[in-house]
Amino acid sequence: MAKVRTKDLLEKFNFELVSGEDGIHRPIVTSDLSRPGLELAGFFDYYPAERVQLLGMTEMTFFSKLHPEEKESRMERLCHDTTPAIILSRGQDVPEQLIEASERNAVPVMRSNMTTTRLSSRLTNYLEGMLAPTTAVHGVLVDIYGVGVLITGQSGVGKSETALELVKRGHRLVADDCVEIRQEDEDVLVGSAPELIEHLLEIRGLGIINVMTLFGTGAIRGHKRITLNIHLENWDPKKQYDRLGIEEDKLKIIDTDITKITLPVRPGRNLAVIVEVAAMNFRLKRLGINTAKEFTNKLANVISEKDPDLL
């Protein structure tokens, strides 16, 4: 099913529908917009008909200088059977030739009072967000000191319980159990909760609780950019876990790699505090403060002073 249709633009931006009402359910397949200046001049060899067509003051001023036969021909070719919409900015008058062509070909023609540049910017931002690649991940997303932390792990390992403790410590829940992730831009992943389970948290033995009702609106967020993944797994005594934190693993989601930290779970470990500190340490690293590397450098200096032959 199409993610965005012309009707969605009509409702989102409160456009005025002038003609072509039969085509308001056409799908929009790309976030790219087209300003068909060359097409109005008669050059249709590379006409991107699948894009939303935006007519500004420049295009309409040029169009007004054409001969009547040319006006009718250009508008007929502009209203392609794959064109999702034609939008006029600045509240301009819609030419009669465009109205007639749009009715014949069921191409919605809409009008906005916004300037062309502002309209183009808002449309592009909206379409890029709606048409961004998406996926779903089993896990919990929490905003910890401004860091979007995606907590993953096997079912029953303690993800939701950790999230509950983090909420009690003043952090904000974004999603539990299922995290919907969309790649809004290169290296930008944004996570949110499905509408059905928004603000809800499942705790085994307790059931489903509403975080917003219990802790207030300050305990939840609608969406958050994901920059860190913390993977919880049951403690394996045979596995060698990272003791220094120098090497960084990566988790690939869609086309973006994010930092991954694996935390072993065993009785007596306060996972909420460890996850909180991991987020704080991640922020420090982004500011250029890497404690593990500083310790390693100091250790190397001490060894070289004691016995240079060991290096």
pLDDT tens-place string over residues 129-161: 889 889 999 999 999 999 999 999 998 888 999
* d(C-alpha 114, C-alpha 259), whole Å: 41
Task: Specify whether 243 is catalytic.
Answer: yes
Q: Is 138 a catalytic residue?
A: yes
Confidence at residue 181, expressed as pLDDT on a 0 to 100 scale: 94
What is the C-alpha separation between 150 and 275, in angstroms, rounded?
10
Contact residues for 42 (Cβ-Cβ < 8 A; gap 6+): 70, 74
Mean pLDDT of successive 10-residue segments in the chain (311 residues)? 84 95 94 95 95 96 94 95 95 94 95 95 92 92 96 91 94 95 89 94 91 94 95 84 76 92 86 93 87 79 71 53
Q: Sort 224 into a burial class: Cβ within 10 Å, 0-12 / 13-18 / 19+.
A: buried
The question of whether 293 is a catalytic residue gets the answer no
User: Of the listed 177, 225, 257, 283, which one is catalytic?
Assistant: 177
93 is a catalytic site residue: no
Q: Which of 159, 171, 224, 231 is catalytic?
A: 159
**Could you tell me how many residues make up the chain?**
311
Kindly list the structural domains of the chain, giving each domain's residue range(s) and its CATH number in brackets, ordered by start: 6-130 (3.40.1390.20), 134-296 (3.40.50.300)
Report pLDDT digits (tens) over 203-242. 988 899 999 999 999 999 999 999 999 999 988 877 777 7
CA-CA-CA-CA dihedral for 165, 169, 174, 175, to nearest 10: 0
Q: How far is CA 207 from CA 143, 174, 200, 202, 203, in A?
A: 23, 18, 10, 6, 5
